[in-house]
Chain A
Amino acid sequence: MSHKLQHIRNFAIIAHIDHGKSTLADRLIQTCGGLEEREMTEQVLDNMDIEKERGITIKAQTVRLEYKADDGIVYQLNLMDTPGHVDFAYEVSRSLASCEGSILVVDSTQGVEAQTLANVYQALDNNHEIITAINKIDLPAADPDKVRKEVEDVIGLDASEAVNCSGKSGIGTHDLLEAIVKKLPPPLEGDITKPTKALLVDSWYDAYLGVVVLVRVIDGTLSKGQKIKFMSNGATREIDRVGMFTPKKVVLDELGPGEMGFITAAIKDISETNVGDTITDEKRPCAKALPGFKPSVPMVFCSFYPADASEFEKLRDSLGKLKLNDASLHYEMETSQALGLGFRCGFLGLLHMEIIQERLEREFDLDLIPTAPSVVYKINLTDGTQRDIYNPVDMPDVVKIESIEEPWIKATILVPDEYLGGLLKLCQDRRGQQVELTYAGARAMLVYKLPLNEVVFDFYDRLKSLSKGYASFDYELDGYAPNQLVKLEIKVNDEPVDALAMIVHRDNAEFRGRHMCERLKELIPRQMFKIAIQAAIGGKIIAREDVSALRKDVTAKCYGGDVSRKKKLLEKQKKGKAKMRQYGAVEIPQSAFINALKMGDDR
């Protein structure tokens, strides 16, 4: 096998979700003989069940293939399947940083979508050479010429040499492989004599091997027994295994310049292995770390409470297990008066949050009560200091607040013309600021700045339903800006309900408050005494609803045979007390708050 840089090609496959990235990767693997036909399962790179089901790649994956090209030379192709979603944007950027080129997969029946754009721009940021693959041309609805033109018009790429292909049927696979070796550049630098320098692309926890670290070597080599150092935290380890994926794990003697592969080093805790870090030799370190290292920063927060309070420990264990494989998941214990013991969790984004919730429920069989997601606010205090607020409950007293800053995003939305009106209104309602509105054929491309706070809830669902599923959406963070934000409190019989507190724009506060009061009124059963539900900002009540006192609740028939049954109900009610919280003269069933949270924000 050639160690010559000239015969190595490192490339990523990038695409909007469902455009066929994983399927195409399967085809390339199969063609290069990485797996026998019988070993092929669909989407071999997507390991986790949830990845297979949702069709999303969460962890980066690499496969080393050997391709004997038409010029007779055997090339080493390192194929990288990247996580395709914006929540994992940083991970994507590191994956891309480890490659010199990208295959841009565009579905010939769909055309360019929001994520296509976001990915291409990232690839261009990493100076990638890009090959466009117009995919799924086996489908009757395929319109490769139109899509080719779209790639040129919307993205501005030269698509004259785009390859038409089908990951499903195999059409165009050979053309694509030839394009890879001919058009993509080999690794630009790489010196085997220099001190070891490698990029930590991704890492995951393996029950047998401990943490497996995916690397791209720049200079020097990585080999078994070598003492290495992680430059971000100074941790040192001894490599106990070096290898590659074909996609099967194959142990190698070493990894050299330009190559990708994995190492293991008896690492127990994934939080030691930061994506983007530089790995070097402990004794003979490189002079400078690779650029672009960023520790992962959670952007979206919500709390999970076990629906059954006795499952709290199980929730803790389960989060711990997920954390083993997901350094970007943050969590911290929290107590809510209304919901009991739970965890405040931080996520990279909405999808990340959903995936974690789904995994907890599915793989760990937990019933969760998630609170409304929120973002991190920066509070400028009157004493000149700044504080980050992760939970509305922690907001300092209004008199101590000088101003509140909230995170913004820059969103790119592609939508067929007929649904544009609805989406413009949605963005406007969510306090969006239009940056751009352009057309590509029958589709509009909208660029908006939006407060993340307005997006975390149901923006994506609304977007999909307003456009009958046709709109695509992507976003990047766009810094913080001060705004007229207030903490909206919900009080029941004058007692604040912590789990329902939220931070909202002053202009929306009244509407939101009224809405929450009305919803609670429907959910709280009548009690012995009247219940006042109020929405308040600071001390000021902005909305109020009353649950009138119960007027009649008496069992009509109660004879000798009914005693046990009726008493059981009473006893159950009494036992519930432990979990209950008294609001003035009455207790409110927890279920009312749970349902208020569950129903989401159906503005």
Chain B
Amino acid sequence: MITKGQTGLYIHWPFCLSKCPYCDFNVHVDSGVDQARWCAAYLKSLEHVAGLTEGRIISSIFFGGGTPSLMLPSTIAAIIDKIHALWPCVNDLEVTLEANPSTVEIEKFSAFREAGINRVSVGVQALNDKDLKFLGRKHSAKEALQAIEIASKIFDRFSFDLIYARPGQVPEDWRAELTQALALARGHLSLYQLTIERSTPFYLDHTRGVFSIPDEDVAADFYLLTQEMTSQAGLASYEVSNHAAEGHQSRHNLTYWHYGDYIGIGPGAHGRLSFEGKKYATREHYAPPIWLERVEKSGMGGHPFAPLPAEERFTEALMMGLRLRGGVTLAHLDAQASGGKWRDYVDEERLSRVRAQGWLDYDSERLWLSVEGMLRLNALIPYILKAQPEAVCV
């Protein structure tokens, strides 16, 4: 649980060397990025936000993207230093960097460590060249293995990402690949099922039937297999797609799922901040050049923000909290219920129905989902919330 006043800090770097066909993140391919200018903008934006968040303690920093491993180590260093100068930080501050496993970036790992990064998350995605190619990745399986090896030497804490349930992949293929991955992992793994996002090249190809992905039932089998194998290997899931040995969870990401406070900096970054009992959603301008200009002009790259309506706040807390295997504490949910109780928001009859199915359970302290419940999370939440869903598709 987050101590009062503790706040995560997310920095978004919106550039990549190329755009992967499945990715719908706010990323842009731009070879002429003026690193000095961007560095200055990040620092200025931090100063601006610090003015609004006095008295907070920074509990984690996360450089995400995009491909933040393309940032100059000196930029990273300047940002980390600036944060230390502007806010008090917890002693064991977690500072994560998302990294792509290309040779150039691997060579920068030591410099990143020097700059203050103490955890990396490497975007491996697949361990064979054929699938890497399909996923539009610019690195080879060999480079990925190399990145893992070097990262595990340089950083105490590191994780890597894999995307599974790919076209043509069957659970047995995944079993072999995951076995290999578990042998390479050091404490943390992110395992995502391939999602076909709108407005990506994959979306077009998929709707046109160029390729197909495993159907719902097979996808469920994939998921259950993943749960089983990671548990046996001591890397059980602590969130829908995140696995860790005890004590190795990503503290920064836990802040999201605990619905704690976090600051978002950089184009398109979101934040959630509590002030005087209200929760505020912040949002930075999405387009990199506009964000940059605005920050340069006034220090502020964000949109005006207003407190979240009570219902939305509760929905957010529930939807994030139930992603965790440990579920969400009732005290926390009540705290989001604007003076009421969590059950005011929930349809009792439906709650008991899904409980009888064994998908959800609660005691006097917590509310949590079983693995089968986790598999149905998107449908389950609108189902139990008092207002009902129109259609269940997220």
Contacts and interface: CB of A to CB of B under 8 A. Distances in A.
Interface stretch (A188-196, A500-508, A537-545, A577-585): A577-585
Interface string A566-597: 11011111111101101001010111000000
B385 interface: yes
Interface stretch (B32-40, B108-116, B142-150, B261-269): B261-269
Contacts of A576: 388-391
A69 interface: no
Given A573-B391, A575-B390, A557 B385 contact: no
Contact of A554 (B374, B382, B385, B388): B374
A299 to B, nearest CB: 37
Contacts of B269: 560-561
A528 B392 contact: yes
Contact of B270 (A526, A552, A557, A563): A563
B315 A571 contact: yes
Nearest to A561: B270
Contacts of A572: 390
A558 interface: yes
B316 A567 contact: yes
Interface string B36-71: 000000000000000000000000000010000000
Interface in B201-235: 216-217, 219-220, 223
A356 B15 CA distance: 54
A557 B374 contact: no
Contacts of A564: 270, 281, 283
- Which of B8, B64, B268, B389 has its CB near the most chain A CB atoms (within 10 A)? B389
B312 interface: yes
Interface string B268-298: 1111100000000101000000000000000
B378 interface: yes
Contacts of B268: 561
Interface in A244-272: none
Contacts of B8: 560
B253 interface: yes
A552 B388 contact: no
A70 interface: no
Contacts of A582: 388
B388 A587 contact: yes
B216 A570 contact: no
A39 interface: no
Contact of B192 (A557, A567, A589): A557
Contacts of A574: 382, 385, 387-390
B347 to A, nearest CB: 11
A558 B388 contact: no
B394 interface: yes
Contact of B376 (A554, A557, A585, A587): A554
Contacts of A553: 216, 375-379, 392-394
Interface string A163-193: 0000000000000000000000000000000
A556 B195 contact: yes
Contact of B320 (A550, A551, A552, A558): A558
A559 interface: yes
A580 B388 contact: yes
Contacts of B10: 560-561
Contacts of B241: 556-557
Contact of A556 (B193, B253, B312): B193
A561 B264 CA distance: 8
A567 B283 CA distance: 15
A571 B240 contact: no
Contacts of A554: 240, 374-378
Interface string B362-394: 000000000000111111111101011111111
Contact of B195 (A527, A557, A579): A557
A550 B378 CA distance: 11
Given A554-B377, A554-B378, A577 B354 contact: no
Interface residues of B, number: 55
Given A560-B10, A563-B272, A555 B377 contact: yes
Contacts of A587: 388-390
B319 interface: yes
B166 interface: no
Contacts of A320: none
Nearest to B387: A574
Contact of A558 (B217, B240, B283, B390): B240
B376 A552 contact: yes
Interface residues of A, number: 37
A551 B385 contact: no
A469 interface: no
B376 A570 contact: no
B379 A550 contact: yes
B272 A575 contact: no
Given A552-B223, A566-B394, A571 B312 contact: yes
A396 interface: no
B157 interface: no
A570 to B, nearest CB: 5
B378 A589 contact: no
B388 A577 contact: yes
B323 interface: yes
B133 interface: no
B193 A525 contact: no
Contact of A560 (B216, B272, B353, B388): B272
A596 to B, nearest CB: 15
Contact of B382 (A526, A555, A570, A585): A570
B288 to A, nearest CB: 15
B377 A580 contact: no
Interface string A521-537: 00001111000000000
Contact of A585 (B270, B316, B353): B353
A564 B385 CA distance: 17
A369 B64 CA distance: 47
A577 B387 contact: yes
A528 B359 CA distance: 11
B342 interface: no
Contacts of B393: 525, 553
A528 B388 CA distance: 12
A526 B389 CA distance: 13
B238 interface: no
A52 to B, nearest CB: 38
Contacts of A556: 192-195, 240-241
B218 to A, nearest CB: 9
13 contacts: A528-B379, A528-B380, A551-B220, A552-B223, A553-B376, A553-B392, A554-B376, A563-B320, A570-B315, A570-B381, A571-B315, A574-B388, A575-B390
Interface of B: 8, 10, 12, 64, 192-195, 216-217, 219-220, 223, 240-241, 253, 255-256, 262, 264, 268-272, 281, 283, 311-312, 315-316, 319-320, 323, 353-354, 374-383, 385, 387-394
Q: Which 7 pairs across A and B sit closest by C-beta, in order of nearness?
A: A576-B390, A573-B389, A574-B387, A577-B388, A589-B391, A552-B220, A554-B377
Given A554-B374, A555-B195, A560-B269, 15 more contacts: A552-B219, A560-B256, A560-B262, A563-B320, A564-B270, A569-B394, A570-B394, A571-B315, A573-B390, A574-B388, A577-B387, A580-B388, A587-B389, A589-B391, A590-B390
